Amino acid sequence: MIETQKYGSKLYKPTKPYHKMSMQELSDHCKICQSLDKMPYKKIKRIENLEENELQKRIKRFLLKNSKLNRNTKRNERQKTNKRERRKHVQRKTKNKKRDKQKTKKTNI
């Protein structure tokens, strides 16, 4: 029963109706709710008892932290593609060097 009580928490309730929220506000609210789903009931109760300004600071910090993660993954994807291109370029160079060595060996006889 205790675990199902967490869905009645004030943290799950949106600040305004869904149809009046912007897309950013709606996605932020969904992120918060998903993180609350992973938390135990005791921790949610502890967070509920915080002052309003402290609660807003924590929410803001949480959202900033999650948005940075998304930016980093995009950067990592770009780096991966750049590494692949560099590898291909290096492989081409080594193939050309091998060909050149073979040609020189034949002519030096």
Rounded-to-integer distance, Cα 37 and Cα 55, Å: 17
pLDDT digits (tens, 9 = 90+) for 31-83: 999 999 999 999 999 999 999 999 999 999 999 888 765 555 666 666 666 66
Whether 29 maps to a domain, the answer reads yes
Whether 94 maps to a domain, the answer reads no
Residue 82, CA distances (Å) to 68, 85, 88, 90 in order:
21, 5, 10, 12
Judge residue 15's burial from the number of C-beta atoms within 10 Å of its C-beta, 0-12 exposed, 13-18 middle, 19 or more buried: exposed
Whether 53 maps to a domain, the answer reads yes
- Which range marks the domain in which residue 29 is found? 2-77
- What is the total count of domains within the chain? 1
Whether 58 maps to a domain, the answer reads yes
pLDDT score at 97:
65
Whether 25 maps to a domain, the answer reads yes
- Is 0.75 topped by the overall pTM? no
Rounded-to-integer distance, Cα 73 and Cα 78, Å: 9
